[in-house]
């Protein structure tokens, strides 16, 4: 059901593209402006800015007050544990993407995180895996597509979802259906649990971001351009981190080979 | 025979000269890298010392202002942030921009101070990269996950100075440049609306501070 909701949102975004028109491309006589235009890669900027305004209003009058209320009632320690449980439920998706990215050590980290935190960590309430040498990392189908060589595409500001691009939007859809819990069980209780998890993920994440988002809005003169820049840089850094993670495949608890003498690596 | 020998000698001399100059520059680079790392360690220690001290807000702000001016290449950052629009601006606008930017940067740093209360940092590696010398640090704030902060340092006027800060891979000066370019491009490429927005923001910060 949730996927239908997202699909409807995406359709609305595509329809509004036609209504709102495109950004004007600078003439070839102004090479610097043209370079900046290409670097921003935001040909749908007028529409994106309108959607940002809509999302910002939604956030200001609905999401943020809810998150503030939640953060007021629920102490930080509990929120951190809620975050741990939600992260743990999401770990299978991370694992699937580690495999698709052919990052065996990352996949091993994810597997051990899920095993340790689901058992020792009491259904994910405690994150013992990080301390045991299996820290969390980012992996989703958007990053996987990037490692497969799919280009970013133009910047998109999606209703409700916020900053994105065609690659990440596709990745988001695949992320929803590749979650094993999406397919587990039937009936009212299971779907209610699913809704509860989605709602809690949104509220808990927004509560974590209360200060950072306020700070960006306090400092930015053009919040839209700032969020666009932050989103693009953050995704690029996550992709680069995945690409650069080429650890050799001997686990930490296995006897390590003698360290190479200094100056040879 | 003689010509060949001379050629060989010239070749050898050039090669030795080149090799020694390469050796010298790589030594100079190694010195720069270790200088940069020391500078970041000192600056972070002093900054967190001020933030975690029991001084009043006004005293803290003054101490941080002095630290920022000493450690950051403020004018270089300002020029980078305005980018290609620097040449569009009139000399009066350039001067106004520099002056306002310097003041805003201090508010940007001091505004962040409260969220770093009780923070600790550990030094990581330092290495020469494309952007400059990048010094890695890990910053832990109580109750929050550890964050990776990288400091980009360049030698300005013979001294190591901070030219950028990368927080979890996002560059502050690049974000700022895109922010300012956003305002300018929304106003038909004019610099004055940006200056107006900067003045407006500065007035807001000043009225909040007093």
| Residue in A closest to B111 by C-alpha | A215
Residues of A in contact with B209 (CB under 8 A): none
Q: What is the pLDDT along chain A (265 residues), one digit of tens a residue?
A: 444 555 555 555 555 555 556 777 888 877 777 888 888 899 999 999 999 999 999 999 999 999 999 999 999 899 999 999 999 999 999 999 999 999 999 999 999 999 999 999 999 999 999 999 999 999 999 999 999 999 999 999 998 889 999 999 999 999 988 888 888 877 888 888 888 999 999 999 999 899 889 988 989 999 999 999 999 999 999 999 999 998 876 666 777 665 555 444 4
- Cβ separation of B179 and A76 shorter than 8 Å? no
- Cβ separation of B178 and A238 shorter than 8 Å? no
Q: Do A36 and B84 touch, CB atoms closer than 8 A?
A: yes
Residue B5 falls inside a structural domain: no
Residue B2 falls inside a structural domain: no
Residues of A in contact with B194 (CB under 8 A): 221
Q: Do A48 and A156 touch, CB atoms closer than 8 A?
A: yes
Q: B189 — phi, psi (to 5°)? A: 80, 10
A93 Cβ neighbours under 8 A, 6+ residues apart: A139, A140, A175, A178, A179
Q: What is the pLDDT of residue A265?
A: 41
| Residue in B closest to A218 by C-alpha | B201
- Cβ separation of A226 and B180 shorter than 8 Å? no
Largest CA distance in chain A: 64
What is the C-alpha to C-alpha distance for residues A171 and A217, in angstroms, rounded to an integer? Answer: 28
- CB half-sphere exposure, A48, CA atoms < 13 A: 21
Q: What is the pLDDT of residue A1?
A: 43
Residues of B in contact with A76 (CB under 8 A): 143
CATH code at B63? 3.10.450.710
Residue B4 falls inside a structural domain: no
ipTM: 0.81
What is the C-alpha to C-alpha distance for residues B197 and B187, in angstroms, rounded to an integer? Answer: 11
What is the C-alpha to C-alpha distance for residues B161 and B39, in angstroms, rounded to an integer? Answer: 8
Residues of A in contact with B171 (CB under 8 A): 233
Residue A20 falls inside a structural domain: no
Q: What is the pLDDT of residue A263?
A: 43
Structure tokens at B61: 């702000």
Residue B23 has pLDDT above 70, yes or no: no
Where in the sequence is the domain holding A61, given as residue range(s)?
44-244
Which own/partner pairs from A199-204 qualify as long-range (CB within 8 Å, at least 24 positions apart)?
A200/A82, A200/A86, A201/A86, A202/A63, A203/A63, A203/A66, A203/A67, A203/A70, A204/A70, A204/A79, A204/A82, A204/A83, A204/A86
Top pLDDT among B13 and A20 is at: B13
Residue A31 falls inside a structural domain: no
Residue B6 falls inside a structural domain: no
Structure tokens at A88: 């743990």
Substitution target in A29, A219, A227 with the highest count of B β-carbons within 10 Å is A219
Residue A191 falls inside a structural domain: yes
Question: How do residues B177-198 score in pLDDT, each as one tens digit?
Answer: 999 999 999 999 999 999 999 9
Question: Which residues of chain A are at the B interface, by a Cβ-Cβ cutoff of 8 Å?
Answer: 32-33, 36, 40, 76-77, 80, 211, 215, 218-222, 224-226, 228-230, 233-234, 236-238, 240-241
Residue B46 falls inside a structural domain: yes
Q: What is the pLDDT of residue A194?
A: 87
Q: What is the pLDDT of residue A2?
A: 47
Q: What mean pLDDT is predicted for residues B17-28?
A: 62
What is the C-alpha to C-alpha distance for residues A256 and A259, in angstroms, rounded to an integer? Answer: 8
Give chain B's domain count. Answer: 1
Closest CA to B153 of B27, B24, B37: B37
- Cβ separation of A221 and B115 shorter than 8 Å? no
Q: How many CB atoms lie within 10 A of CB A41?
A: 15
- For residue A8, give how far its alpha carbon lies from the nearest alpha carbon of chain B (Å): 30
Q: What is the pLDDT of residue A256?
A: 66
Question: Which residues of chain B are at the A interface, by a Cβ-Cβ cutoff of 8 Å?
Answer: 84, 108, 111-112, 115, 143, 168-171, 174-175, 178-183, 185-186, 189, 194, 197-198, 201
Residues of B in contact with A236 (CB under 8 A): 169
Where in the sequence is the domain holding B67, given as residue range(s)?
12-209
Give chain A's domain count. Answer: 1
Residues of B in contact with A36 (CB under 8 A): 84, 181, 185
Residue A32 falls inside a structural domain: no
């Amino acid at each position: 059901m949730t996927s239908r909701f997202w699909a409807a949102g995406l359709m609305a975004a595509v329809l509004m593209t036609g209504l709102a028109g495109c950004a004007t491309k600078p003439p070839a006589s102004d090479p610097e402006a043209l370079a900046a235009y290409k670097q921003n890669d935001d040909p749908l900027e007028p529409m994106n800015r309108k959607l940002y305004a809509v999302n910002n209003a939604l956030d200001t009058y609905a999401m943020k007050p809810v998150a503030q209320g939640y953060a007021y009632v629920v102490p930080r320690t509990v929120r951190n544990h809620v975050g741990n449980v939600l992260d743990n439920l999401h770990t299978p998706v991370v694992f699937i993407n580690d495999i698709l990215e052919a990052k065996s050590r990352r996949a091993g980290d994810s597997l051990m995180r899920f095993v340790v935190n689901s058992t020792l960590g009491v259904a994910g309430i405690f994150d013992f895996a990080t301390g045991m040498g299996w820290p969390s990392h980012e992996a989703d189908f958007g990053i996987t597509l990037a490692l497969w060589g799919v280009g970013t595409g133009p910047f998109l500001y999606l209703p409700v979802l916020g900053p994105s691009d065609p690659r990440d939007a596709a990745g988001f859809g695949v992320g929803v259906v590749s979650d094993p819990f999406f397919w587990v069980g039937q009936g009212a209780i299971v779907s209610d649990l699913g809704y509860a998890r989605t709602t809690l993920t949104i509220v808990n994440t927004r509560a974590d971001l209360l200060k950072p988002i306020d700070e960006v809005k306090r400092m930015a003169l053009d919040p839209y351009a700032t969020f666009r820049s932050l989103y693009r840089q953050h995704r690029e850094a996550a992709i680069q981190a995945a690409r650069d993670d080429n650890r050799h495949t001997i686990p930490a608890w296995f006897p390590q080979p003698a360290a190479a003498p200094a100056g040879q690596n | 025979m003689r010509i060949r020998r001379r050629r060989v000698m010239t070749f050898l001399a050039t090669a030795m000269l080149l090799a020694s100059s390469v050796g010298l520059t790589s030594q100079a680079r190694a010195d720069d890298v270790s200088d940069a790392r020391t500078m970041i360690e000192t600056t972070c220690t002093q900054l967190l010392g001020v933030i975690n001290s029991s001084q009043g807000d006004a005293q803290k702000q003054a101490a941080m202002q002095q630290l920022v001016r000493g450690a950051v290449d403020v004018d270089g950052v300002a020029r980078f942030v305005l980018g290609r629009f620097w040449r569009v601006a009139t000399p009066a606008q350039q001067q106004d921009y520099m002056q306002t930017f310097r003041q805003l940067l201090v508010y940007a740093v001091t505004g962040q101070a409260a969220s770093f209360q009780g923070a600790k940092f550990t030094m990581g590696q330092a290495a020469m990269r494309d952007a400059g010398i990048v010094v890695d640090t890990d910053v832990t704030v109580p109750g929050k996950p550890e964050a990776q902060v990288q400091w980009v340092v360049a030698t300005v006027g013979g001294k190591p100075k901070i030219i950028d800060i990368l927080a979890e891979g996002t560059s502050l000066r690049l974000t700022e440049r895109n922010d300012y370019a956003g305002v300018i491009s929304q106003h038909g490429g004019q610099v004055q609306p940006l200056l107006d927005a900067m003045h407006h923001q500065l007035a807001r910060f000043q009225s909040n501070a007093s």
